[in-house]
Amino acid sequence: MTGIHAVAAHAHAPALGSPLAHGVGSRHDLPLSPFYAYAGAFAALLVSFLALGLLWSSSRFRGDLAGRPLPAALQRVADAPATRTALRVLGSTAALVVLLHLLLGPDDPDRNPAPGALYVLLWVGLVPASLLLGPVWRLLNPLRALHALRPPRSPRPLPAALGIRPAAAGLLLFTWLELVAPANTSSSTLLIALTVHTGVQLLGAARYGDRWFAHADPFEVYSSLLARLSPLGRRADGRLVLRSPFHGLDSTPQTPGLVATVCVLLGSTAYDGLSDNPRWSTTLQTSSLGPTSTATLGLLAAVALAAACYGLCAGALRLMNPAVTTPLTSFAHSLLPIALGYLVAHYFSLLVTEGPRTVIMAAGTDNALAPAPFLGPAGLATLQVVAIVTGHVLGVVAAHDRSVRLFPPHRAVAGQLPLFALMIAYTLGGIGLLIA
């Protein structure tokens, strides 16, 4: 049972076979016609691709040069040391509360809010928080507060090739903890995981300074990437601005590890969808390797498949357009809306049911009931498909704008056909996991 799903299973809510029990539900029970889901998704992608090819002949996104400045008074408040200190204290206090619950609370997710705080409020809650407010975990991160108590006097420069590869590895380990690890809601397991995470992050920061967190803290990188789609952002000159999310997406740094990080998000979410399939559950129980080893291989295979598909696409782009020397990183930003669509489709209902229950438990109520979902099975199924399709359409738009910037005009449309094929494959795969 996955970490998130274990929390949901212990709730006094519908059983996991119900589509309302957790973020994804049982796809085989969703009241959704496969034909209409596939046909609608394909039509949306095809129409958007053709419309962009006909109407969008030059790049319109300006990255971190775009945006309408917010009032200067609002920026002063946002950048004030008192504001940043208050946010750091808030994050540290929340972390301390979770730690105390793990150390002193009952080892039962029905009565201890710590598993829900980690798997729901942090992992899932960072999605809407980062979309609305920007890279919030950078301001709340309690490890930054600990590091600030004794920063290194002469930190070493970060290796240029490091990029955000450590964060990609950290995200993969966290998703393994969430989706695969046995007893992953027990206090001892979570304490060990948090101790290892804290030790690695503080040792890295002691060597390289606080820049380490922006490259290696998985939650900080996760929040920062999602914040690329926030209407709030910073221009290159530091001004706080309102902007089209496409401008923020276009400003995503082409840093080493970006592709790996996005593929971990795509692959792990795809595996989460697969893990609820009864046939996969049977495979886990009957495998000669044992359920944990088999699930680990399944998670790695899902991430590898997402990466291989994108790698093949990048290779085809390079063959068709030799002038594009970095196709892997040049178009990786277009995968972020797709990853966001998968996250919304899989975890929305979990956040709105298990999130409040976790908060109620933290306030001192044992065996708190999860609130009734406000979407029925049909509404949830529609939301899931719309989230996936919308994410892919946004990805098509982002990829097209980058294509007309990088490719000669006569190749701008034909040159992105491999990307379009990839978007279709990801879309059909994502919907297939919902309704299979």
Helix (H) or strand (E) holding 370: none
Positive or negative: CA dihedral 229, 231, 235, 239: negative
Global pTM value: 0.88
Quick check: 103 and 284 in contact, CB under 8 A?
no
Residue 17 has pLDDT above 70, yes or no: no
DSSP character at residue 119: I
Q: Which residue has the tokens 């489709």?
A: 345
Residue type, 371: P
* pLDDT reported for residue 19: 31
Reported residue count of the chain is 436
Q: Average pLDDT of 320-328?
A: 81
Token digits for 342?
């998968």
Q: What is the mean pLDDT of the chain?
A: 86
Residue-wise pLDDT for 130-147, tens only, equals 999 999 999 999 999 999
Quick check: 432 and 42 in contact, CB under 8 A?
no
* pLDDT reported for residue 308: 94
| Residues in contact with 113: Cβ distance below 8 Å, sequence separation at least 6, in sequence order | 98, 101, 105, 358, 359, 361, 362
* pLDDT reported for residue 354: 87
Distance CA 170, CA 137 (A): 15
Quick check: 233 and 134 in contact, CB under 8 A?
yes
Q: How many of the other CB atoms lie within 10 Å of CB of 325?
A: 9
Distance CA 370, CA 4 (A): 14
Q: In 180-290, which ranges are continuous DSSP H helix?
A: 187-208, 211-216, 218-226, 245-250, 258-275, 278-286
Residue-wise pLDDT for 171-192, tens only, equals 999 999 999 999 899 999 999 9
* pLDDT reported for residue 31: 58
Residue 8 has pLDDT above 70, yes or no: no
Backbone phi, then psi, for 181, in 5-degree steps?
-55, 135
Distance CA 387, CA 342 (A): 7
